[in-house]
A and B are shown apart, each in its own frame.
Chain A
Amino acid sequence: MNIQLNGENTPVDDGATLTDVINNLPLQGSRYAVEVNEELVPRSEHDRYHLKEGDSVEIVQAIGGG
């Protein structure tokens, strides 16, 4: 199936969890936060959050800003 990952159409395994998606990204050791369909998904729920076709996932981090 396909999801929107930070605005990019991205194929993932059917029934993939947020953790599955995150583990494929070079995010180890960095601070990030995750939204699905404009709703925050707390870290404690990533393991059991199963994505659906067309879900829009945003993964954000802190950057310099004023």
Chain B
Amino acid sequence: MSENNDTFSVAGREFSSRLLVGTGKYKDMDETRAAIDASGAQIVTIAVRRTNMGQNSDEPNILDVLPPDRYTILPNTAGCYDQKTAVRTCKLARELLDGHNLVKLEVLGDEKTLFPDVMATLKAAEELIKDGFDVMVYTNDDPIIARELEDMGCAAVMPLAAPIGSGLGVRNPLNIRTIVENAKVPILVDAGVGTASDAAVAMELGCDGVLMNTAIAAAQKPVLMASAMKKAIQAGREAYLAGRMQAKRFASASSPLEGLFF
């Protein structure tokens, strides 16, 4: 595989950037725009909420800042704790994006951990796929569930690295590797990345991409962190493709021993 045309595709759409970013928690729309620009992301997530009835109507909408003709908008079901609200959210998103059917499904199980409710996630995924959605699904780092979601027809499976917004990095690299090795659909680490090295680790494990929000938005300098993440994703991907050396317990001299003159 050439590094120059190393694209990844999800649900028939092709992307050169493997960094997907959320658009929440930024100071304002200018910072959102600058950080997303620096990240090089082509897929950006949004949330669906009640319209603001008149208050702050001057404030630009996220879709004015990130126009759907330039970015692939990935509506999420953040805040949904059951199948029904997740499916309603996706239908509303498809309507407001003129039939765009790519969604990020997350059905949460617990406010403290924001871990997924896997049973409800499976049911919601099935209902959405039947209704014609391309579903990128947030789940835990369980290879069996990941396989089930793939078999059901999810467009991409997105195991967490660590709890949403925790910044703890990839807590279970062996499971992530197993999920990647088993999969024929794209596997993206979604949630839990804290800094650039975490993103590189996910990519070195063979993930097709990483989705993050807080790691960039909650950095002291979000725009600089967005740039760091872009590089980390590229570096991790190239290292994965390059095939790393075997780690050894003891040293192996890098300079030849022949020709020593002492």
Q: Using a CB–CB distance below 8 Å, which chain A residues touch chain B?
A: 5-8, 25-27, 30-35, 38, 40, 42-43, 58-66
Contacts and interface: CB of A to CB of B under 8 A. Distances in A.
Interface of B: 22-26, 32, 45-54, 57, 61-63, 73, 75-76, 78, 84, 88, 91-93, 95-97, 164-165, 212-214, 217
A42 B76 contact: no
Contacts of B47: 62-66
13 contacts: A25-B54, A31-B61, A31-B96, A38-B84, A40-B88, A40-B91, A59-B51, A60-B51, A60-B96, A63-B47, A64-B25, A65-B76, A66-B45
Contacts, number: 103
Contact of A42 (B54, B78, B95, B164): B95
**What are the 6 tightest A-B residue pairs by CB atom distance, in nearest-first order?**
A65-B47, A66-B22, A66-B213, A33-B95, A33-B96, A64-B23
Given A31-B61, A66-B213, 4 more contacts: A62-B46, A62-B97, A63-B48, A64-B22
A40 B22 contact: no
B50 A7 contact: yes
A6 B52 CA distance: 9
Contacts of A60: 48-51, 92, 96
Contact of B46 (A38, A43, A63): A63
Given A58-B50, A62-B62, A62-B63, A35 B92 contact: yes
